[in-house]
């Protein structure tokens, strides 16, 4: 079972699930989930990775047991992650992000390359404008603040012009894992993102958008090959 820890960043509390490796031989891994997902989403993957490396899965602001401050932007998420890496004080980490977590990871890697050894982006492409189609809020209690969707979805539908510069500043080796034709993410945009990055490789696992959940064995094999050594 993972340890549960809380870290304060200024006035914001971030909650983490931590799998400390008994004999960590490899770089620590930090896992960032998608919109509406919490750190528990990574339990299967993290438990396997923790054989020889310490793993941190993060509840992003507005999710799970982290604070729900009511203010959400991609840049704020990225600042939280960079602040968290400074507080963990582990040296460089391997940063893995799925969907929203992948967009956040890109911004963090562009701003804080010295903190990140390798970057993994699960089913995200280079941001392009798309017709707004805001989802309806599901009924009942949610494990996250619905205002995340209300505030961040417009940033995804109408991405800022700074994305080309953000991607150009990412110099660390990067693995992109695409979900194939059943994913709602246009796979040509993932290929475009790979082409824009300084050092990237693209692997497709035809499992849809939730790759690490739907095809954990293939995902783990791909991930550990890239992260080793």
Show pLDDT as tens, one digit a residue, over the chain (229 residues).
899 999 999 999 999 999 998 788 899 999 999 999 999 999 999 999 999 999 999 999 999 999 999 999 999 999 999 999 999 989 999 999 999 999 999 999 999 778 999 999 999 999 999 999 889 999 999 999 999 999 999 999 999 999 999 999 999 999 999 999 999 999 999 999 999 999 999 999 999 999 999 999 999 999 999 999 7
CA 105 from chain center: how many Å? Answer: 5
Cα gap 130→82, rounded to integer Å? 29
> Model pTM?
0.97
Are residues 112 and 84 in contact, defined by beta-carbon separation less than 8 angstroms?
A: no
Work out the angle between the directed axes of helices 100-111 and 74-88 (0-180°, nearest 10). Answer: 60
Phi-psi region of 89 (alpha: psi -120 to 50; beta: other; left: phi over 0): left
Q: Which domains are seen in the chain, by residue range?
A: 3-132+141-227 (3.40.50.1820)
């Amino acid at each position: 079972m993972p340890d549960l820890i809380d870290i304060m960043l200024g006035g914001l509390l971030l909650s983490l699930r931590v799998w400390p490796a008994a004999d960590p031989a490899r770089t620590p891994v930090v896992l960032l989930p998608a919109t509406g997902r919490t750190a528990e989403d990574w339990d299967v993957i993290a438990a396997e990775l923790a054989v020889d490396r310490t793993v941190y899965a993060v509840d992003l602001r507005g999710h799970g047991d982290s604070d729900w401050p009511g203010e959400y932007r991609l840049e704020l998420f990225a600042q939280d992650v960079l602040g968290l890496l400074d507080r963990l004080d582990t040296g460089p980490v391997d940063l893995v992000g799925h969907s929203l977590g992948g967009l956040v990871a890109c911004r963090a890697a562009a701003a804080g390359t010295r903190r990140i050894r390798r970057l993994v982006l699960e089913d995200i492409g280079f941001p392009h404008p798309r017709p707004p189609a805001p989802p309806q809020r599901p009924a009942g209690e949610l494990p996250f603040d619905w205002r995340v969707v209300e505030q961040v979805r417009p940033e995804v539908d109408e991405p800022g012009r700074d994305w080309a510069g953000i991607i150009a500043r990412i110099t660390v080796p990067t693995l992109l894992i695409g979900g194939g034709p059943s994913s709602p993410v246009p796979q040509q945009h993932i290929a475009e993102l790979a082409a824009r990055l300084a050092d990237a490789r693209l692997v497709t696992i035809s499992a849809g958008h939730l790759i690490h959940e739907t095809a954990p064995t293939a995902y783990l094999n791909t991930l550990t090959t890239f992260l080793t050594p």
